[in-house]
Each structure stands twice: as structure tokens, then as C-alpha cells.
Amino acid sequence: MTVVIMPSFDSASKIALRFSYHSHIKHWKDTMKHSISRRNVVKGAAWATPMVVASASVPAFASSLCTPGITLDVPTNTTTNGDSVTHTFTAGNIEVMTFTLLGGAGGTYQGNARDGHGGSGALVTGTLDLNPTDEVTFIIAGGGGPYNNTPSTPGKGWADGGSHSEAIMDENEYTKRYKEHSSKSLINELYGPTGGGASAILLNGTPIAIAGGGGGAGARQISRTSWNKEFYGPQPESFKGLKFNTGDMASGGSGGRVGERGGSYQETYLFFPGPALNMNGGLGGGNGQGGAGAPAGSLSDPKSNSAISFEGSQERYLFSQNVAGNAGADATLTKNSQGNNGGQGGAGVVGIGMAITWYRTSDLNQCSILHGSTGGGGYGGGGSASVTTAAGYGADQSYASVTGWVDGNYIEGGYWSPVGSAAFSGAGGGGGSYVDTSRVYDSNITTGSNIGKPGMRVNGAATAVVCRNFTADKKTK
């Protein structure tokens, strides 16, 4: 999906714009006898550009024969895989360009929780004087990928959003141990949303405007014992699985001059009030510095409810982690030793929670693997989120099974308790933004309105309105 932010004008606004235009024409005719600099007079053309407030200054064409208000054909990024789109042109008869630039949004969570949208990209606006030989390049970023069961590529751009590592279930020492006592099909490995890429405008190869990408939203991964009537008979009223409440998911930090911090949030058990899992968001990048990764979260008050236990026993093995996020990369306006500008969002970290009931291969074994949400790219990438995991069992519940599976043979009886594992991620921080104020004037950096949407990518965008000197074309013929 592609979102392009354009203004909407009511009738009164349109009349005001027409009045402003004709007022500028009269003012131009009255002042042509005076010496007026391009920089001062160009501000009057700003009304013709989306997202730029009308100015009462003298129009740009007052100091030249260029024709204002011409919309440049900047391509729309319609990619669905996170790729960026690049458009380059030589200025030629374009003397002045007023632009808007929007970074890619972060990916969004979709699942059993409220909210959890990806952060919006930064919105950068400004005006630029051009010489005939100037080469202008637009880099229009891709949006971050959504929550998924496969790695989502980040949004690409001048700086990419943070990436995920490959699947670890076949490599990790803990998951290998899990599979020795269970089946691979019971391992759930999921990936949090990724950050959006940074859009940019380059003048003769050097960035003059960078719009940071939004951070990926938070994510959750829950695995638990459910009642199996075939194995255990009719479900009693006393059975309480390790379910979680449906709460508010963390949203990604938006891009900005300094990107916003990603959201932090908390998860609590539905039937076991007291214990809570806490996840933190990555910090935003800015001023060329990457944002710090989120500090590690925690399981708070683990012993506040005796009906649930997070400690292993002779019957079961429990494993959990609190993993801090990764920092976003610093950015440079010139290429670094790796041949890029840096500024990538912080990469996702991986957290594992698992519960193993010895000598059982049913759903009395649970494993949750979550790759945490990543930061947005920019002039300083946003930090990635922390991942908090837990594994526990219903300590006050014990049920007899009709059949059990021990050492390859079915037997009668056997007592068991429900177990559960879970892994949760905070949200990624937004990427930083930049304007070269020695070349760009009337500039502004703010937060865009292209927040992430479930199940899709929300790409960056750009517009440009120019003043062309058609007389210069005739002179060269």
C-alpha cells in the first residue's frame, strides 16, 4: 500500500488562494522596477505546494522570467516489498523547487491486541534554488514490514529500517533441547514489525533533506496448553490455561528531527492477577546519532500469585529471558567505510520462552520464539525494542489423563498441569531527519500522518512544485 499525503482545500480556501495569486501578480508588476533577491521573493510560490502554508512574500518569478506553480512528475512508490524508488533529473530550466518529503512508516502488529500501529515517517518541507547543471535525486522510501511468521524485510531507503536475523529454532541450544522432548511443530517462531526506510533528496549526490522512517510496532507470541478432550476427558470448570488479557499493544515511534521513542507496554495473565511482563521501546535517532536500544524488560511480581509458578521442578523445565534492544546506526552525509551512509534502524533481538514437561510430547510442552520489533532508518537510526519472555505452569492444578505417552508407549493415567510460554516485544524507535539550511530555506520538519496499517506496508512519498524558465529554453535553441 502506498500513502501519499496531499492537502484538501474547502471553497473558502480556494478563493483565498486565487486572491493570493492575483495579489502576487499585481505586486510583481508594481515592484519589477526594484532589485529583489531570489531568496526573498521565492517564498510567494510556496502556496502551490502540498503541505506548505501560503506565504505573503513576493513570488519567485518576480526576479526572473520563470513560470511558477508547475508540478514536477515525482514517481509514487507503489512497491509492496519494502523497496525504495529513485528518481533523478537535471535542473535545466528549473530555477526554484519547493518540496515535501515523507519517510516510510513502520510495520504494524495485527493480532489479539488493541492498537499497535507502526510509527509514521517524518515530513520534511522546504524550498531550494537550482542552477541549470544541478542534479537532483529523490529517494522515496519503502514502509516497514508487518508482524509475520517469516522475517519481514525492513523499509529500504537512504537509510533502511532495522532487519531481522534468520530463524533460530534449528540452531539454538535451548530449542534443540526442546525438540528432544517435543515435536518441531509445537515451536512457534514469529517476527515483530520492522522499521520504515528514510526518504531523501540529494543535490549533486549530497543529501540536503532526509525524512526519517517510523519504528515497527510491538508484537506478542503466546503458546499454552489447551484442554484436549480426547486425552483428558470432559473439561472441568477448574481448568485455567495460561491466557493473557487483551491489552493495548505498543506503537512504533514516529520519525522526526529526533525520532520518537517506541512504545513500552505491559502484559498480564487473565486468570492469574499479579505477575506482569514489561517490555520497553527503542529510543529515536537524531542529529546523526543512532538511538539507544531499549533497556531489558522484566517479569514483575512473579511470586505474587501462588496459583502460577515460574520456577522449574522435577516434572518440568522452564526457561525465560529478558533481552535488551539494539542501538540504531549512526549516520554520515558522506559514504562510510561500508560504502553507505549508515543510519539503519536497530536490528531485532530474539527472545525464547519454553516449558518442557519431561516425558511428554503433547501440548504440555510449549515454546515461544519472538524476533523483536526494529527501529526506523534515518539521520540516526531508531533503536530496536526489548523482548521479554516467560514460562510457567498452573501450580494449583493437577489433572489425570486418560492416556499418556512415555518412552514410546501409551500408558494409562499420569497427572499433569497446564503450562505456557510467551514472548513479547516493545516497539522500535523512529529515525532522525535532516535539512541542509545552507541550501534549503523555509524548511520544516514535523511528523507525517502515514501511520502503519495492519497487514501492509505504508511507503514514503514526495512532491515537488517548481518554477520553470521557458525563456531560457528559447535562448538555447
Note the pLDDT tens digit of each residue in 27-68.
333 333 333 334 443 433 333 333 333 333 334 444 557 899
What average pLDDT score do residues 332-354 get? 91
* pLDDT of res. 229: 82
The pLDDT, as a whole number, for residue 406 is 59
Q: Does pLDDT of 323 surpass 50?
A: yes
- pLDDT at 9 exceeding the cut of 90: no
Closest C-alpha among 14, 66, 73 to residue 41: 66
- pLDDT band for 5, please (50, 70, 90 cuts): very low
**Cα(367)–Cα(423) distance, rounded to whole angstroms?**
9
pLDDT score recorded for residue 404? 54
pLDDT score at 394? 97
Closest-CA residue to 74 (of 121, 126, 10, 4): 4
Domain spans in the chain, listed from the N-terminal domain onward: 11-66, 72-476
Quick one: average pLDDT of 205-211?
98
DSSP 233-274: -SPPTT-----B---EEPPPPPPBSBPPPPP-EEEEBSSS-S
Which of 65-74, 178-187, 344-353: highest mean pLDDT? Answer: 344-353
Query: 418-456, pLDDT tens digit by residue?
Result: 999 999 999 999 999 999 999 999 999 999 999 999 999
What tens digit of pLDDT does each residue of 239-270 get? 999 999 988 899 999 999 999 999 999 999 99
pTM: 0.84
- pLDDT value for 127: 98
Mean pLDDT of the chain: 84
For 123, the enclosing helix (H) or strand (E) is strand 122-129
- pLDDT tier, 470 (very low <50, low <70, confident <90, very high otherwise): confident
Residue 295 has what pLDDT?
99
Which range in 18-32, 58-72, 85-99, 330-344 is most confidently predicted, on average pLDDT? Answer: 85-99
User: Considering the chain, what percentage of its residues have pLDDT values greater than 70?
Assistant: 80
Q: What is the rounded radius of gyration, in angstroms, for the C-alpha atoms of the chain?
A: 28
**DSSP annotation string for 366-396:** EEEEEEPP-PPPSSSPPPPPPEEEEEEEETT
Q: Encode pLDDT of 381-422 as tens digits.
A: 999 999 999 999 999 999 876 555 556 665 556 688 999 999
Rounded average pLDDT over 271-276: 98
pLDDT value of position 361: 66
> Based on the number of CB atoms within 10 Å of its own CB, is 326 exposed (0-12), middle (13-18) or buried (19 or more)?
buried
Q: Is the pLDDT of residue 15 over 60?
A: no
Q: What residues does 425 pair with on adjacent strands?
A: 219, 387
Instruction: Please report the pLDDT score of residue 47 as a whole number.
Output: 33
What average pLDDT does this structure show over 115-120?
A: 93
Residue 6 three-state SS:
coil
Predicted pLDDT of residue 27: 36
Q: Where are the alpha helices (DSSP H) in 128-228?
A: 173-181
Q: How confident is the model at residue 148 (pLDDT cuts 50, 70, 90)?
A: very high
d(CA 346, CA 204): 29
pLDDT computed for residue 267 by the predictor: 97
200/34: higher pLDDT: 200
Size of the chain in residues: 477
**Residue 359 to residues 75, 335, 412, Cα–Cα distance (Å):** 60, 56, 14
Instruction: Quote the DSSP letter at residue 59.
Output: B
